[in-house]
């Protein structure tokens, strides 16, 4: 799966309250959830106003720390983000992303990527081309078990198909 999109940058340790503020937790409509993606983060409002379908979020370490709210991955996916690239992810966010089919990749050299860069990302093998800077990076490939789940369309589809 190859994805091409423009980069939005956020920092280290962006927690789930920044990704999806607690006051919207009672919402159950996915479309409504999406309109609050990244609302609590620095530049969150700018992001919500101007993000386009297919855009890419690039962040530092421990992205998605905090609560177990899946609203976080659902909102990011819902607003049209095609992949999140981080130095590292918090465990629950990582799981939620795999289980809901939001592509994620771990990349050591995230700091090389600038806001507005256009990237071409191969989710399967982790190859990332920075078209703007004419550079290439290699992210850690996703485990085969996780790839199977993502390919099935998420955990529930995977389980329903009786693969497990």
Partner 1 sequence: MKTIIEKIFSRGAGKDVKPGDYVWVNLDLVAMRDFGGPNVIQEYESMFGEHPVFNKERVAITFDLHVPARNEKVAINQRLLRDFTARQGVRLFDINTGIGQHILLESGLVKPWDIIVGTDSHMNLLSAAGAAGFGMGTTDIAGAMYKGKLWFHVPKTIKIIIKGKLQKFVTAKDVILYILKYLKTDGALNRAIEFSGETIEKMNLSERITMTSMVTEMSGDIGFIQPNQEVIAFIKSRTEEKVETITSDPDAVYEKVHEFSVDSLKPQIACPHSPDNVKEVTEVSGTEVNQVFIGSCTNGRLEDLKSAAEILKGKIIKRGLRLIIVPATMEVAKLALKAGLYEIFLSSGAVVTNPGCALCTTGHPGILAPGEVMVSTSNRNFIGKLGKGAQVYLASPATAAATALTGVITDPREV
From 25-33, 50-58, 118-126, 130-138, give the range in contact with partner 1 by CB under 8 A. 25-33
List the structure tokens of 156: 């529930």
The number of helix segments (H) and strand segments (E) in the chain equals 7, 7
Q: Does 17 bind partner 1 (CB under 8 A)?
A: yes
The sign one gets for the Cα dihedral 125, 128, 129, 134 is negative
Q: List the beta bridge partners of residue 89.
A: 63
- The answer to whether residues 10 and 40 touch, using CB atoms and an 8 Å cutoff, is no
> Least Å distance between CB 136 and partner 1?
27
From 2-10, 117-125, 133-141, 151-159, give the range in contact with partner 1 by CB under 8 A. 151-159
- The strand pair at 2-9 and 118-122 is best described as antiparallel
From 48-56, 108-116, 122-130, 140-148, give the range in contact with partner 1 by CB under 8 A. 140-148
User: H or E stretch including 95?
Assistant: helix 91-100
Q: Please say which residue, 98 or 119, places its beta carbon nearer to partner 1.
A: 98
Q: Does 19 bind partner 1 (CB under 8 A)?
A: no
Which one of residues 3, 135, 138, 146 is an interface residue with partner 1 (CB under 8 A)?
146
Residues of span 36-95 touching partner 1 by CB under 8 A: 40, 61-62, 65-71, 73, 88, 90-92, 95
- Dihedral, CA atoms, 106, 107, 113, 116, nearest 10 degrees? -20
Q: Does 156 bind partner 1 (CB under 8 A)?
A: yes
CA distance 77 to 7: 15
Binding site for partner 1 (CB under 8 A): 13, 15, 17-18, 21-23, 25-26, 28, 40, 61-62, 65-71, 73, 88, 90-92, 95-96, 99-100, 143-146, 149, 154-160, 164
């Amino acid at each position: 799966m190859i994805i091409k999109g423009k980069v939005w940058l956020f920092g280290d340790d962006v927690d789930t309250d920044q990704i999806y503020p607690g006051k919207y937790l009672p919402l159950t409509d996915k479309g409504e959830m999406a309109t609050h993606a990244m609302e609590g983060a620095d530049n969150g409002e700018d992001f919500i106003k101007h993000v386009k379908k297919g855009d890419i979020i690039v962040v530092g370490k421990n992205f998605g720390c905090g609560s177990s709210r899946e609203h976080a991955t659902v909102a990011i996916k819902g607003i049209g983000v095609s992949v999140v690239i981080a130095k590292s992810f918090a465990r629950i966010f990582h799981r939620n992303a795999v289980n809901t089919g939001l592509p994620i990749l771990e990349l050591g050299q995230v700091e090389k990527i600038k806001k507005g860069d256009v990237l071409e990302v191969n989710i399967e093998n982790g190859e990332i081309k920075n078209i703007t800077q004419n550079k290439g990076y290699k992210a850690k490939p996703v485990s085969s078990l996780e790839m199977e789940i993502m390919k099935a369309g998420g955990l529930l589809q995977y389980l329903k198909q009786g693969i497990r």
